[in-house]
Structure 1
Amino acid sequence: MSILTIILSVLLPPLAVFLKHGLGTQFLLSILLTILGWLPGVVHALYVNSK
C-alpha cells in the first residue's frame, strides 16, 4: 500500500476505494460507512486497500 493510498484513505475513503477497486460493492459500502461516520469509512478503506 502506497503513501498516496494511505493519505486518500484517511482524507477521502470512498475515493481511495474507488481508485483501487472501481465501482462495486466495496465502493458503495465505503460511501455508506463514510456517511454514517468518518471513522468507519476510514477503517473500511484502510482494510480493503491493505488486502
Structure 2
Amino acid sequence: MDTPSAILLILITLIFPPLGVFMVEGCDVDLIINIFLTILGYIPGHLHAFYLEYVYFNRREEAREGRLDSTPAPGIYSERVQTGGNGYGAIIPPGEH
C-alpha cells in the first residue's frame, strides 16, 4: 500500500468523509450514499467511508499479488472500488501483446 497517500486519505476522511470517498471512488453512487449518511450523522458517514477505503486498498493489494477475489464486497456499488482501481481500460489477456 502507498503509505503516505493512505495516511493523507485517512486524515481527509476524518475531517470530511465525502471528500475521502470522492478521492477513492469518484462521483458515483457510493459518494451520494456517503453524503446522505454524513448528513444523517457524522459517525455513519465515517463508517461507510472507511469501509469503502478498506475494500479499495485491500482489493488493490490482492490485485498486485495476483489473487483478486471476484465476489463483490457487500454494500459497495462502485466497480472501481470492487476491483481496487484496476477495473478501467482495456484488458489484454496474457500472451496477446
TM-score range, shorter chain: over 0.9
Find runs of 4+ consecutive structure 1 residues off by over 3 angstroms: none
The SS at the match of 1:23 is coil
Aligned to 1:21: 25
Distance in 2 of aligned mates of 1:32 and 1:11 = 16
The SS at the match of 1:10 is helix
Which of 8, 14, 17 aligns to 1:10? It is 14
The SS at the match of 2:27 is coil
- The alpha carbon displacement at 1:8 in A equals 1.3
Q: Which has the higher contact order (CA 8 A, sep 6+)?
A: 1
Once superposed, what is the RMSD of the aligned Cα atoms? 1.1
- The alpha carbon displacement at 1:33 in A equals 0.2
Structure 2 residues not aligned, in runs of 5+: 56-97
Select the structure that is richer in helix: 1
- The alpha carbon displacement at 1:5 in A equals 1.0
Distance in 1 of aligned mates of 2:26 and 2:44 = 20
Comparing 4-13 with 27-36, greater Cα deviation is found at 4-13
Distance in 2 of aligned mates of 1:34 and 1:40 = 6
Amino acid at match of 2:52: V
Number of corresponding residues: 51
Which of 47, 50, 53 aligns to 1:49? It is 53
Amino acid at match of 2:13: S
Larger radius of gyration: 2
